[in-house]
């Protein structure tokens, strides 16, 4: 009997303890609500705090508090530290100010802390790095000042540390954290040399400071490099280069004697694998409508039909299966009218399907055209639509691509709005963003002067498995200054005055608009929709300034659970990409790595 009474007493005690813990969590949340307001004032106080927006509980304890972009303002109270089981705290993208409260030191179970996009100030408190379970810390885009705490090395599990766009000064401490995968301290007021342990991080992680050392310029003013070569090694390299040059000369002589250039061939093309499409628009004046299968010869001028010694010029080493005459006999269907011309689906007699773009307003000479096509044809990446062949004459310029039957991102986002529409879920959209970023980053990696010049959703084509392929790269420099219509202006960076001269940072801006389009479902221009387009960067920033609402995101995305954090993170990246000044925008390789990390963390949660 005594045992039964004791057991009942024990269960009652535990029940009171659980209730007391939840009551303590509730009190902390109410103190936060009273201090910073915003949309959390809509919490239903008559219900359990575990049902409040942004609050997730496990076993009646608050373990996640996610309030990104909720219009919170003012200073945080001494209260959040009482959420002793908290694992994730996200207050990003609000209007919070002041310093980080000292009771954060009590959040011993905290794994993820996201405070970026606020107005926090003062020094970064060292007690944050006493939190032994902390894995991700993002304090970017605030007003923190002072130095980076030496105690950062105490946070032994830290994998992500983002401190960019603050007012931090002094040198970077010698951070020795094997777990640290992501670091960004760009656009602060840091100086001195970069610690050797961080030399493997990308350049973009340190830009916008007065830093030196690998991966930036070395502190003696020369490009950073690895170990110095010995005299014997240098001699070996010189001898090897001389022998290599001699071998190349011998090979060139042999090739010239055989007259066998293998750079290009003039016969046929590899079978089509993928597709190219643009949103259909009104056909150009004077063009035949071949949607019902007329021959391609019906739309090209006689100059191409009686081509004489003019032939298709092919790229690559794959087997050739058709020539210019075969192509002109192919049945043609108009896919759409784009910035640089009209695209056709061409079905050849042997069943091969390709996409043919008939260029307009080409102003460069034949020599310059061929040089640019050689550059475009050499681009080889899984996220690019490859150029297979081209034809040049005085009156006709044709480009041959793989055909992609799924269509463009623009078609999927803004096309069919009816009941039969297939919505694009978060995983698909983030995957498309990553694929497009990889393709553009590859182009940029080919040299500082290489850019796309015309990034927009109708130039992001999709495979049957919704993998992104970037098209129309390298064509902006071929046309005259007035050939680019106004409909691309929604993607164009503010500093661009000539569509033929687009920098890599202007590409980043256009890609940022593309990300906003993916997130909001809104077209940034008047083209291709029945609704008026909007200036996406300006619209998003105005919504953020006033008060965050869920309306900024595409309604199709709001049905998916546990992705709000990732959506806001991608939104922040898009806003960074569309910064007014080019030097404030990240490089495409940094954009790609951030989207990769976002996709990885998303996969881990699912």
Q: Is 265 helix (H, G, I), strand (E, B) or coil?
A: strand
What Å distances lie between residue 246 and 237, 257, 258, 358, CA to CA?
14, 17, 19, 43
Number of H-type helices and E-type strands within the chain: 11, 23
* Burial profile 442-462: b = 16 or more Cβ within 10 angstroms, e = fewer: bbbeeeeebbbbbbbbbbbbb
Distance CA 287, CA 495 (A): 35
Residue pair 278/333 in contact (Cβ under 8 Å)? The answer is no
Quote the distance between the C-alpha of residue 79 and its chain's center.
Answer: 37
Contacts with 353 (C-beta within 8 Å, 6 or more apart), sequence order:
272, 345, 346, 347, 403
Pairing of strands 73-75, 55-58: unpaired
Q: Is 203 annotated as a binding residue?
A: no
Phi/psi class of residue 449: alpha, beta or left (left: φ > 0; alpha: ψ in -120 to 50)?
alpha
Question: Scanning the structure block, which residue is given the tokens 């954060």?
Answer: 104
Distance CA 172, CA 194 (A): 7
Pairing of strands 294-295, 189-193: unpaired
Contacts with 193 (C-beta within 8 Å, 6 or more apart), sequence order:
171, 211, 212, 213, 219
Distance CA 598, CA 584 (A): 21
Binding residues for ATP: 357
Binding residues: 357
């Amino acid at each position: 009997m005594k045992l039964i009474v004791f057991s009942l007493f024990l269960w009652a005690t535990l029940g009171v303890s659980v209730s007391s813990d939840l009551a303590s969590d509730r009190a902390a949340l109410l103190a936060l609500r009273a201090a910073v307001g915003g949309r959390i004032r809509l919490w239903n106080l008559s219900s359990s705090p575990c049902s409040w927006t942004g609050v997730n509980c496990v076993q009646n304890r608050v373990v996640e508090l996610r309030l990104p972009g909720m219009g919170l303002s003012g200073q945080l109270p001494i209260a959040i530290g009482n959420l002793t089981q908290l694992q994730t705290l996200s207050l990003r993208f609000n209007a919070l100010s002041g310093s980080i409260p000292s009771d954060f030191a009590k959040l011993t179970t905290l794994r993820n802390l996201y405070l970026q996009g606020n107005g926090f100030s003062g020094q970064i408190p060292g007690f944050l790095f006493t939190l032994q379970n902390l894995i991700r810390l993002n304090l970017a885009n605030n007003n923190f000042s002072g130095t980076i705490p030496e105690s950062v090395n105490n946070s032994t599990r830290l994998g992500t540390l983002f401190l960019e766009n603050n007012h931090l000064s002094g040198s970077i401490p010698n951070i020795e954290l094997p777990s640290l995968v992501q670091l960004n301290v760009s656009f602060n007021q840091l100086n001195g040399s970069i610690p050797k342990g961080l030399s493997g991080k990308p350049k973009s992680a340190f830009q916008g400071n007065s830093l030196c050392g690998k991966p930036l310029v070395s502190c003696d003013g020369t490009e950073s490099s690895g170990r110095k070569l010995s005299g014997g090694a240098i001699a070996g390299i010189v001898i090897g280069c001389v022998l290599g040059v001699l071998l190349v000369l011998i090979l060139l002589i042999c090739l010239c004697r055989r007259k066998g250039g293998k750079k290009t061939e003039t016969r046929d093309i590899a079978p089509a694998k993928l597709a190219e499409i643009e949103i259909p628009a009104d056909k150009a004046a004077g063009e035949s409508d071949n949607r019902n299968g007329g021959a391609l010869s019906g739309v090209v001028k006689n100059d191409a039909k009686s081509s004489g010694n003019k032939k298709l010029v092919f790229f690559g080493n794959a087997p050739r299966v058709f020539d210019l005459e075969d192509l002109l006999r192919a049945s043609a269907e108009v896919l759409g009218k784009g910035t640089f011309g009209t695209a056709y689906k061409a079905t050849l007699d042997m069943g091969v399907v390709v996409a043919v773009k008939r260029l307009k307003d080409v102003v460069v000479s034949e020599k310059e055209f061929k040089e640019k096509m050689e550059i475009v044809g050499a681009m080889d990446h899984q996220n690019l639509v490859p150029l297979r062949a081209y034809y040049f004459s005085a009156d006709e310029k044709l480009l041959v691509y793989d055909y992609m039957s799924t269509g463009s991102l623009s078609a999927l986002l803004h096309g069919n709005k009816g009941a039969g529409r297939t919505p694009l879920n978060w995983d698909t959209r983030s995957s498309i963003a990553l694929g497009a970023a990889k393709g553009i980053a590859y182009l940029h990696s080919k040299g500082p002067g290489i850019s796309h010049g015309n990034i927009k959703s109708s130039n992001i084509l999709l495979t049957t498995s919704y993998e992104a392929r970037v098209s129309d790269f390298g064509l902006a420099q071929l046309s005259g200054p007035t050939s680019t219509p106004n409909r691309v202006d929604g993607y164009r960076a503010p500093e661009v005055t000539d569509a033929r001269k687009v920098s890599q940072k202007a590409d980043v801006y256009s890609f940022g608009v593309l990300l906003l389009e993916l997130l909001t479902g809104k077209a940034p221009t008047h083209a291709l929709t029945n609704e008026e387009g909007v200036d996406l960067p300006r619209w998003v920033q105005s919504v953020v300034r006033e008060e965050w609402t869920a309306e900024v995101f595409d309604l199709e995305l709001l049905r998916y659970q546990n992705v709000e954090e990732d959506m806001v993170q991608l939104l922040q990246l898009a806003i960074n990409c569309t910064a007014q000044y080019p030097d404030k925008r990240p490089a495409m390789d940094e954009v790609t790595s951030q989207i990769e990390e976002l996709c990885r963390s998303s996969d881990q949660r699912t």
